[in-house]
Structure 1
């Protein structure tokens, strides 16, 4: 499955919220886009997931079973179909949770939004499964940035219909970029399509060949800085069946 943006633009009341941009990313892939804060990140996250209509251009979702271009163009995805298979994670002013909430509160809310049971015992079980039991009572603004990103992304992935995740500016919470980039790659390895938005400085820290933003480039839309398709995690070993011998007492029963 793939999401494609073709010459997409979002206009604001006084100036463009997002300059024309082309972008594509698929399930099993993580794509890093870099741009300066305040110049298109929020608009890109929302328009790419069907939560904001573009002023120009086209956003499409291409199902995995869709024919290739040689066999005909796939149908254009509707905003509703995009919203159904995507989640926006920690978008400033849109989907970021209240920093005063405890981790347990955030988990309960996230499970409920994903259509999962969110009773106290469900929250306790989820925290244990994600090695976050010790953080249960901490305020969200007290946890390290990478933990915050991993927590919110994992909750978004609890929705069984979600196939694409957008992580918006995880670098604004501090920490090494390699931490949240590793989170993104692990999600892609699990089969999700992951779009990560960051500053140009963070992209350079991850090895992207991007010059510093100067002059007109300060207002350019986010650009693709890195693209990776991590290998899926190895399958757990299958336990071998016990080998019976002639002396096995079970044979005599």
Structure 2
């Protein structure tokens, strides 16, 4: 599976809400879309996830312009104002809500079992706002793939929560190794750091 952003944009010139942006994510290589302007990460994520049409450019899934198929296959992860959990909820509450949305039994016991399985049992009572960035991205990615039909993830601005880029990027590469196509929408500085973390960079 391949998701391609082909020069997607909203507006033009220096004040464009989303300057022309290109990226590609496949099931074996995560993609990175680098954007900087205010609001651009959310716009880019909505467009990449098939929830919104760009004014310029196009989004392709396996070379097909099919927003409905993209919406079915890709979940938005931690997208500001769109798909981010309330900061004051506990991790256990967020898990139970997501289990219900995924048509699974949303009991306390099932929430505990899931958190134990993904290595986050210690954070059961932690408020979402207090989660380390790596744990936050792990939690939200693992919950997103519970939804029926999800084969890809659009992760939005993980760098806004602070922490080490390499830590949350390790979650992205793990999801990719499990066969999910992951696109990270992030700032230019984090994108440059990620490029240095890729295996092909160290082989140069």
Query: Which interval holds the TM-score relative to the shorter structure?
Result: 0.7 to 0.9
SS at match of 2:50: coil
- Which SS does the other structure have where 1:131 is aligned? coil
Q: CA deviation at 1:39?
A: 5.6
Residue 165 in 1 paired to residue 153 in 2? Answer: yes
The answer to whether the aligner puts 1:43 opposite 2:31 as a matched pair is no
Paired residue for 1:120?
108
**Cross-structure match for 2:96:** 108
Q: Is the alpha carbon distance of 1:5 and 1:131 closer, same or farther for their aligned partners in structure 2, counting shifts above 3 Å?
A: closer
Question: C-alpha displacement at 1:89, in angstroms?
Answer: 0.6
Structure 1 194/228 Cα, relative in aligned 2: closer, same or farther at 3 Å? Answer: farther
**Pair 1:207–1:21, CA change in 2 (3 A):** closer
Instruction: Show structure 1 runs of 4+ deviating over 6 A.
Output: 226-229
> Counterparts of 1:16-165 in structure 2 under 5 Å?
16-36=16-36, 38=38, 40-62=40-62, 75-77=64-66, 79-165=67-153
For residues 173-252 of structure 1, the aligned pairs below 5 Å read 173-206=161-194, 208=196
Partner residue of 2:5?
Answer: 5
1:91-134 Cα offsets, whole Å, 9 max, x none, are: 11111110100000111122222333212221121112122222
Return the alpha-carbon distance in structure 2 between the equivalents of residues 203 and 6 of structure 1.
18
Of structures 1 and 2, the larger Rg is shown by: 1
Q: Deviations over 1:56-94 (max 9, x none)?
A: 3322212xxxxxxxxxxx5431x2211100011101111
- Deviations along 1:194-241, one digit per CA (max 9) or x if unpaired, are 111222222344454xxxxxxxxxxxxxxxxx8679xxxxxxxxxxxx
Normalising by structure 1, report the TM-score: 0.71
Aligned residues between the structures: 198
Q: What is the distance in 2 between the residues matched to 1:161 and 1:227?
A: 28
Q: CA offset at residue 145 of structure 1?
A: 1.3
Q: What's the Cα RMSD here?
A: 2.2
- Asked if the contact 2:99–2:106 (Cα under 8 Å) also holds between the matched residues in 1, the reply is yes
* SS of equivalent residue, structure 1 residue 16: coil
Contiguous gaps of at least 5 residues in structure 1? 63-73, 209-225, 230-253
| Higher percent of residues as helix | 2
